Amino acid sequence: MATTTTVSMPTDNLNPPPAPSRVYYSLGRMLGVDDFQADQDYHRGCLARALLQLCGTGTVAGLNVSLPQVWQPTTSYAASAFVYDGSQNVQVNTGVAGTSGTAPPAFASAPGGTVTDGTGIVWTNEGPINANGWRPNAPFPSPSAIVDSNSNVQILNGIATFTAGPNLPVWSTAIGSTTLDGNPAIAAWTCAGPSQLEIEVTPGLAIDRVGRMIEVPRTVCIRIEQWLANQSLTDLNSFLTSGSGNVLVDVFATFVPCTRGVTPCFATQDDYDATDAFSPNRLLDSFAMQLVLRNDAAPKLPQDPWLATGALPTGAISAAPAQTLKQSILSANTGPAAAQPFTINGPTPVEIPPGFDPSSVFLARVSIPATLGSPGNPPTYNLNNISIDNLSRLFLYPGSLVARLIGLSAGTES
């Protein structure tokens, strides 16, 4: 799935938030649309302020950003998943599902060679992608890797001498599933995943800087090569002129409010047409997953909103001095209250690029090694050495987790 850099979003009264004003019901007074909207804004605003002040802004759970086709440290890989090595060979996990190590493995350079990695992962060199792809009645050596008609990589299942069948197979699409091929048909091919480089964001939950919940119920994929091709050449080359050697791309999750329904709330049979467009209000809040090219000078990462309380304690986790902590809360000069970008003339978070929605939640920074392109040409990318920083985002730690870390427990340990 591709993404765009500009997202047209419906307006939301919580950005900026309305003043807390609840509808007053009076006998004999007719309620209008504005009254119901004000009532909804009041209750949504209460929830948003409570979430923001009690929890803060950032990642609650999930939303891990990865690039499945490029090896990443301490990353989960399924059995039969693959990565490209520096020579564009397909390296398939022929072991079991596991987590990669902290340093890149020494991938085997010859087809058929293997290397272990992390816990349970065995990378097997399947050679480069066969440029001719699948052909009817064609012989394929072992190992072989092709891209099928669904743009997935298919790996030949260790068959020493194999000849394809006369008809195009119905390709399997799930990683690890097999496809019948040959004459007679056998389980000849195993799906290893999408061939194109995709940034993948797992399902999860975040709270934005207004206090709204950003719920991502499914995995989101963004094709990085296609996205780069749609960027301005000037923008792509501008950051490289500083000698950084990397194109920086930040991943943001942005709250998208649902659209409003066009059918009256209290229609009668006399004026209600069942064929009218109808959309229940506030049941379809969504999100936008966006890539932002950082060509602004010295782009920063999110800053801990509690930084002003002082340095972190060394050794065991312990509470900050009570007097200092209480005074910080009373002064409201640290934490979420001090960093709300939606107040009048309020500060914009340091990680937000110029002109971007300041309520968005920073998820990760992607560094793409590249060299400056010649005039009129894009940079030359090293897509096999992309690195992703997931740990510089703001995390929201559950109170029960904090309690455990300071020595309080709940339940049993068995």
Summarize pLDDT for 13-34 with one digit per residue, the tens.
777 666 666 666 777 777 777 7
User: Residue 248: which H helix or E strand, with range?
Assistant: strand 246-256
Low-confidence winner among 40-49, 93-102, 249-258 (lowest mean pLDDT): 40-49
Residue 352 domain-assigned (yes or no)? yes
The Cα–Cα gap between 319 and 54 comes to 17
pLDDT value for 100: 92
Question: Is residue 278 over pLDDT 90?
Answer: no
Same domain, 220 and 190: no
Same domain, 271 and 145: no
Between the ranges 69-78, 113-122, 285-294, where is the mean pLDDT highest? 113-122
What proportion of the chain, given as a percentage, has pLDDT over 90? 36
401 vs 71, more confident: 71
- What DSSP assignment string belongs to 212-257? -EEEE-S-EEEEHHHHHHTS-HHHHHHGGGGT--EEEEEEEEEEEP
4 vs 201, more confident: 201
**How many domains does the chain contain in total?**
2
Low-confidence winner among 165-169, 220-224, 292-296, 313-317 (lowest mean pLDDT): 313-317
Residue 27 domain-assigned (yes or no)? no
What proportion of the chain, given as a percentage, has pLDDT over 70? 78
Range of the domain at 152: 76-194
Same domain, 365 and 394: yes
Residue 136 domain-assigned (yes or no)? yes
pLDDT value for 275: 46
Same domain, 153 and 273: no
User: Residue 37: which H helix or E strand, with range?
Assistant: helix 33-54
264 vs 45, more confident: 45
Three-state DSSP state, 57: coil
Same domain, 143 and 172: yes
Residue 11 domain-assigned (yes or no)? no
Same domain, 177 and 300: no
Low-confidence winner among 114-128, 232-246, 376-390 (lowest mean pLDDT): 232-246
Question: Is residue 343 over pLDDT 70?
Answer: no
Question: Is residue 276 over pLDDT 50?
Answer: no
Question: Is residue 341 over pLDDT 50?
Answer: no
Same domain, 242 and 350: yes
Domain end call among 145, 163, 194: 194
Mean pLDDT, rounded, for 63-86: 89
Same domain, 216 and 333: yes
Same domain, 228 and 340: yes
Mean pLDDT, rounded, for 287-304: 88
Same domain, 125 and 246: no
Residue 414 domain-assigned (yes or no)? no
What confidence tier does 321 reach under pLDDT thresholds 50, 70, 90?
A: low
Domain end call among 194, 212, 230: 194
pLDDT value for 134: 94
pLDDT value for 180: 95
CB atoms under 10 Å from CB of 4, counted, come to 11
Residue 337 domain-assigned (yes or no)? yes
Say if strands 387-389 and 361-371 run parallel, antiparallel, or are unpaired.
antiparallel
Domain end call among 194, 220, 251: 194
Residue 181 domain-assigned (yes or no)? yes
Residue 307 has φ and ψ, to the nearest 5°, of -60, -35
Same domain, 276 and 336: yes
Question: Is residue 178 over pLDDT 50?
Answer: yes
The Cα–Cα gap between 71 and 85 comes to 8
Residue 189 has φ and ψ, to the nearest 5°, of -120, 145
Mean pLDDT, rounded, for 259-269: 52
Question: Is residue 406 over pLDDT 60?
Answer: yes
Please state, rounded to an integer, the average pLDDT across all residues of the chain: 81
Residue 29 domain-assigned (yes or no)? no
Identify which of 294, 224, 281, 212 has the alpha carbon closest to the alpha carbon of residue 253.
Answer: 212
367 vs 306, more confident: 367
The Cα–Cα gap between 239 and 244 comes to 7
Mean pLDDT, rounded, for 286-315: 82
Same domain, 356 and 331: yes
pLDDT value for 260: 56
Identify which of 105, 72, 323 has the alpha carbon closest to the alpha carbon of residue 114.
Answer: 105
